[in-house]
Amino acid sequence: MIQKRYLNILLRRKWVIIITLIVTMIAVAISTRMQTPTYYTSSVIRIAVSANGTLSYSDYVQATQLMNTYVEIATSKPILDKLKAQTDLKYLPSIKVTVIPNTELVQISAEGVSPEQITNVANSLAEILISESNELYLGGDKTSQEILEEKLAVSQTDLDLTRASYAKLIIQTPAASAEKVEITRQIFQQKLNQHSTLLGQYTQTAIREEIRSNMITVIKPAQVPSSPSK
């Protein structure tokens, strides 16, 4: 009799444990389904300082400062406001911008509930940094190339006028004095040399600014994640 009662108690405990496990599993399953999944993606940009790929110590220091500056700029209010406008979002997902150690690379990470939205945000922020790079560092002023281009146009006009005056002086009748012709020739040669110098400066500046315009490039665009990160 006692043994039978003991068995009944064990049996009841066993069923209590089984029922508790089943209820717990159901609760966990329901809780998991009710949680909103979070997705993660990132884009990577390169901020190159040395055009030939070789970094001196001063280049390294400059690169470090430049990348840290871009990290701060990327998360500043003006840039985030532009990002909201470009992506047509009232609230942005979580954004993190970090320098990848010992590289010229900056990672732009986005995390949120919409895979497509965070991908668009990560790629759009990279595009904004690239398109705004000149304005961020030049403050909207004229570039050296634009200034030299204006000087070159003035110099070309002045050179053409002097050339025409010199040519007219040579063929005029009666002939101009040899002294006047020589002075005009020297003035023309001087302006020709000045124009050649400006043209050389313009060419070199154009090359430097072309290199600079390609200093920031997208190395890896963000991809739409296929599964939640958590």
Distance linking the first and last C-alpha atoms of the chain = 55
Mean pLDDT of the chain: 80
pLDDT at site 217: 84
Give CA 37 to chain center in angstroms: 30
This prediction has a pTM of: 0.56
Give the length of the chain.
Answer: 230
pLDDT at site 205: 73
Q: What is the pLDDT of residues 93-145, one digit of tens each?
A: 999 999 998 888 899 999 999 999 999 999 999 999 888 776 655 444 566 66
Cα–Cα distance for residue pair 158/162, rounded to 1 Å: 6
Q: What is the pLDDT of residues 129-138, one digit of tens each?
A: 888 776 655 4
Residues 6+ apart with CB under 8 A from 73: 79, 129, 136
Cα–Cα distance for residue pair 40/27, rounded to 1 Å: 27
List residues bridging with 44 in a β-sheet: 107, 220
Residues 6+ apart with CB under 8 A from 108: 42, 43, 44, 45, 74, 95, 96, 97, 122, 125, 126, 222
Largest CA distance in the chain: 150
pLDDT at site 86: 93
